[in-house]
Amino acid sequence: MNPSDRKKDFQTLYQEIKDQQNETRINFMRQNYDKLPAWSKQEVDKGIGGLQQDSSDCLKSLCETMKQRLDENKQQFMRENTEKLPSWSKF
């Protein structure tokens, strides 16, 4: 899989997660409409239902998780293939 395909897969996965979170939030707000503050009721009435939420923390967390998994995979690969690696790449 080349880097552009990985990027597209990541973007697709991220968009699916974001859409699912927004849909869950909208459904919750509709089900609990009477308990919401006035500004939230306005969002529901307008139909945006909080689609403007900041996703930078979610993205940062996802990037950190992916980096950690890639590091773990690299370490595992290097342990399993020590005899095949050149001396400069061994840790």
pLDDT digits (tens, 9 = 90+) for 37-59: 877 777 777 765 444 445 566 77
To which H or E segment does residue 73 belong? helix 56-80
- How far apart CA 74 and CA 34 sit, in angstroms, is 51
Are 46 and 65 within one domain? no
User: What pTM was computed for the model?
Assistant: 0.38
pLDDT at 23 over 80: yes
Percent of the chain clearing pLDDT 90 (strictly above): 3
Parent domain of 61 = 54-83
The tally of domains found in the chain comes to: 2
> Which pLDDT does position 1 carry in this prediction?
60
Instruction: Please report whether residue 88 resides in a domain.
Output: no
pLDDT band at 17 (very low <50, low <70, confident <90, very high): very high
In 3D, which of 26, 30, 31, 16 has the Cα closest to residue 51?
A: 26
Are 46 and 60 within one domain? no
- How far apart CA 35 and CA 31 sit, in angstroms, is 9
Q: Are 33 and 44 in contact (CB under 8 A)?
A: yes
Are 42 and 70 within one domain? no
> Which pLDDT does position 74 carry in this prediction?
87
